[in-house]
Structure 1
Amino acid sequence: MNRIASILFLFFWIPAVAMAQSGGLVEAGKAAFAAATLTNEQVAGYSRQAVQQMDAKYPVAGPNDPYMQRLNRIVNRHRTISGIPINYKVYKTRDINAFATADGSVRVFQGLMDIMTDQEILAVIGHEIGHVVNKDSRDAMKSALWRAAGINALASTSGTVGKLSRSQLSGVADYLLGAKHSRDQETEADDYSYQFLKRNGYSVLALATSFEKLAKQGGSGVPQFLSTHPDSRARAARVRNRARSEGLAR
């Protein structure tokens, strides 16, 4: 408990000190309080705004595009996951990436779809939704707002979600796209994906093979969302070991 308190102190106090140097202690205190009391509804609202910015930045596959048709077929059973309504889109770019945000937006990049089977794509989506369900995406959004928005966007006296400027939205979007999670958060998201696959009758080994494919990409080819520690090969081995212990693999 003391460790958690210390982390929260650093999370809110360090940005507050930075703001204090430029805008005074009172303004910094307001910003710290606003970030600390940011509601899930506000986080979802800001996430929605940031995703809209990303949708304008990246080429989005239309409804008749083969990539979008394939994704719709893959996720047809999964329009709601863990009580969260999901909206899916494909970005027509060669990047190997995918992400989910707190408002239920899931974006899959063409480059990822090119190297993954249908069930491997579901494994990746399950991993990303795991971050949303576990509130990791909420925490990433709070960090992004600290970096890009500051007190004016956060300190809403009416309790409603304020609109961010285009430059602020761009900063939030870029931060979310490259946000890294802790070792424990990554492991918990992997476990969520494993259970998601198992619960829906898919092969849990799709999670392992997705990691193995990413490991083969090497270097900058491995996306942020699955490149953090532990490494992809170690994560694949962990999945295979668990599957064997549960009689789901040899």
Structure 2
Amino acid sequence: MKKRFIAIGVLFMTFSFTQINAQILSDKAMGALGKGVSGFTFSDADAAALAKQAIEEMDANNPVAGPTDGYAIRLNRVFGKHASSEGVNLNYKVYLVKDINAFACADGSVRVFAGLMDIMDDNQLLAVIGHEIGHVVNHDSRDAVKAAYKKEALLDAASSQSGKIETITKSQLGVLGSAMIDSKHSRKQESQADSFSYDFMKKNGYDVNAVESAFRILQNLSQGAESSFMTKMMSSHPDSGKRADDAKKRATKDGLYKEYVQQKIVNTAPVTATPKAATKTTAKKTAAKKK
């Protein structure tokens, strides 16, 4: 792995990008941003263009599971049927790192870390990804990029006066990238994404109780050996225990609640049986005895 992720262990966080610098923001991305400088209008297409550039750089600099890897096979099996959700075209990949994380970008790119897949079963993963898709569908991802750009574009008087992206230096583009990394969704946005996840599970016939269970896992992690680290990293998010309780209340209200039992987790590629060499059998001829 050439670069280490900055947002380690931050579950349910969109735009957990690794050190995005001026090189990632290519001329195409700058052009996309340039459309929205005047008055800071920033469309979904603008956000998607920037996200696409950033995710391509991340994919090129981090270990991505190949099509025959067990993690990729499992992810495609679980999420392949959801290549499109609420009008958003999605693409999924696994980063072969032990960090516990997943994120979705404005262009529909969803990235899941192997560490998360090691501790959550299929239904729990569906709940997590449903949450991430919610951030994209609810325009949280677009708004996060817009807010970062609006803040950083005004650092230079010339850029604020001319209203052109070209006046921003490479150094300022690096600051913009850092601002995108540090951007936090509001607690309201997180709660709305939680609701989207529950509705996603219910709509598609999955066990909604996995939503509560996923949050319980996160809650247990925050109380374990990594508690101080998790508490710091999750400070911008609603309490995991409360989120689990809210999911339980919804399931109870819908008459669907039952204690969730985690299913078997398999991240290995299926073993293909090697066909045995055909063995020749010699038929014995028996002479009929004359009576």
> 1:37 Cα deviation (Å)?
1.2
Q: 1:233 maps to what in 2?
A: 241
Alignment of 1:60-75 (within 5 A): 60-75=64-79
Q: Normalized per residue, which structure has more helix?
A: 1
Change over 3 Å in CA distance of 1:91–1:46 after alignment to 2: same
- The aligned counterpart of 2:149 is 145
Contact map agreement 1:88 1:107 (CA 8 A) in 2: yes
* Cα distance in 1 between the residues matched to 2:60 and 2:172: 13
Q: 1:80 aligns with which of 84, 106, 110?
A: 84
Mark the CA change 1:179 to 1:98 in structure 2 (over 3 Å): closer, same or farther: farther
1:184 paired residue among 188, 204, 216:
188
Question: Which residue identity is paired with 1:155?
Answer: K
CA contact (8 A) 1:35 1:146 kept: no
Q: Which residue of 1 aligns with 2:125?
A: 121
CA 142–81 in structure 1, closer or farther in 2 if over 3 Å, else same? same
Q: What secondary structure, in the 3-state scheme, does the structure 2 residue paired with 1:107 have? A: strand
Structure 2 length-normalised TM = 0.65
Contact 1:82-1:133 within 8 A present in 2 as well: yes
Question: Once the two structures are superposed, what CA deviation does each residue of 1:127-175 show, in whole Å capped at 9, x if it has no partner?
Answer: 01101111100011123434667759x8369xxxxxx969947963x65
SS of structure 2 residue aligned to 1:76: helix
- Between the two proteins, the alignment pairs up a number of residues equal to 212
- The C-alpha deviation readout for 1:68-124, integer Å capped at 9, x for no partner, is 111000102101011111011111111111111111000001111111011111111
In structure 2, relative to structure 1, the CA distance for the partners of 1:80 and 1:206 (3 Å cut) is same
**Higher relative contact order (CA closer than 8 Å, sequence separation 6+):** 2
Code of the aligned partner of 2:121: T
Cα distance, 1:178–1:88 mapped onto 2, change above 3 Å: farther
Give, in whole Å, the separation in 1 of the partners of 2:61 and 2:144: 20
- Measured after TM superposition, the shift of residue 57 of structure 1 is 2.8
Alignment partner of 1:155 out of 148, 152, 164:
164
Inter-partner Cα distance in structure 2 for 1:96 and 1:167 = 31
Matches of 1:180 and 1:132, distance apart in 2: 14
Instruction: Tell me how far apart the structure 1 counterparts of residues 170 and 127 of structure 2 sit (CA, whole Å).
Output: 35
Contact kept? 1:97, 1:223, Cα under 8 Å = no
CA distance in 2, matches of 1:223, 1:177: 16
Query: How far, CA to CA, are the matches of 2:62 and 2:232 in structure 1?
Result: 16
Aligned AA (1:111): G
Preserved contact between residue 78 and residue 126 of structure 2 (Cα < 8 Å): yes
Structure 2 CA distance, aligned partners of 1:31 and 1:76?
34
Distance 2:89 2:36 in 1: 31
TM-score using structure 1 length: 0.75
Equivalent of 1:244 in 248, 252, 255 = 252
Residue 32 (structure 1) shift: 8.9
1:179 deviation in Å?
Answer: 3.6
Secondary structure at the residue paired with 1:74? helix
Instruction: Identify which of 54, 67, 75 aligns with 1:50.
Output: 54
Identity %: 46
Gaps of 5+ in 1: 1-29, 158-163
